[in-house]
Structure 1
Amino acid sequence: MVKVEDIQQYGKEQFETAVASATSLQNGFNAIASAYGDYTKKSFEDTKSFVEKLSGVKSLDKALEVQTEFAKSAYEMFVAESQKIAGLYGDLAKQTFKPLEGIVAKFTPASSH
């Protein structure tokens, strides 16, 4: 027979799980937004520096060299930041669903080993 206290405890656990999940979600989104902001700021600064360098170039060879350096640097930064942000999304997913593991464990039969 189910007791009222058991139902109340279950409701309390559900509420605490929802709060923990929402907190993890908020923290994760803040970290992701910060990473995007940092990447955007760095990209803007690098582009500004590139334009300044390019405006001071006097030969086509030097212009191509500056442009090639910028393209390589921008690509490397994009790949690195994309991997970092993808990792943050992965961490967000893990942290968001972590509080639910306890509830799932309660309803999953123990292994008979």
Structure 2
Amino acid sequence: MAQNFDDIQKLGKDNLDLAVKSFGTVSKGFQAIAVEVADYSKKSFEESSAAAEKLFGAKTLDKAFEIQSDYFKNAYEGFVAQATKMGELYADLAKESYKPYEGVIGKIPGAK
């Protein structure tokens, strides 16, 4: 009976350790994502403000269209790059949060 209790106690401790590791990984991942979103938002705001300033200073309609087209092109390219980067961050987060459980899942019969 004492052997079973020790086994259950060890299993509980191991599971708690796994949960703490996983939580730490998830926390770091979400912090990285939050920093990335804040940086992108700041950069996007600065670029749109600069484009608006140029647009208000345009002397001709052709120049205004050119400024607007350049801004939209750059904004789209920046968005696509950012979306790709965010996708990579989320994929890395999923991989890293799964790592602590790999050993446990490998021990389960029929899990391979």
Question: Could you state the TM-score of these two structures normalised by the residue count of structure 1?
Answer: 0.90
**Is the 8 Å Cα contact of residues 105 and 111 (structure 2) preserved in structure 1?**
no
Percent of aligned positions that are identical: 47
Residue 67 of structure 1 is matched in structure 2 by: 68
Residue 7 of structure 2 is matched in structure 1 by: 6
Matched position secondary structure for 1:3: helix
Distance in structure 1 (CA, Å) of the matches to 2:9 and 2:110: 22
- Counterpart of 1:14, as a letter, is N
Residue 51 of structure 1 is matched in structure 2 by: 52
- Counterpart of 1:62, as a letter, is K
Matching of residues 92-103 of structure 1 within 5 Å:
92-103=93-104
Residue 26 of structure 1 is matched in structure 2 by: 27
List runs of 5+ in structure 1 lacking aligned partners.
Answer: none
TM superposition outliers: structure 1 runs of 4+ over 4 Å: none
List runs of 5+ in structure 2 lacking aligned partners.
Answer: none
Residue 105 of structure 1 is matched in structure 2 by: 106
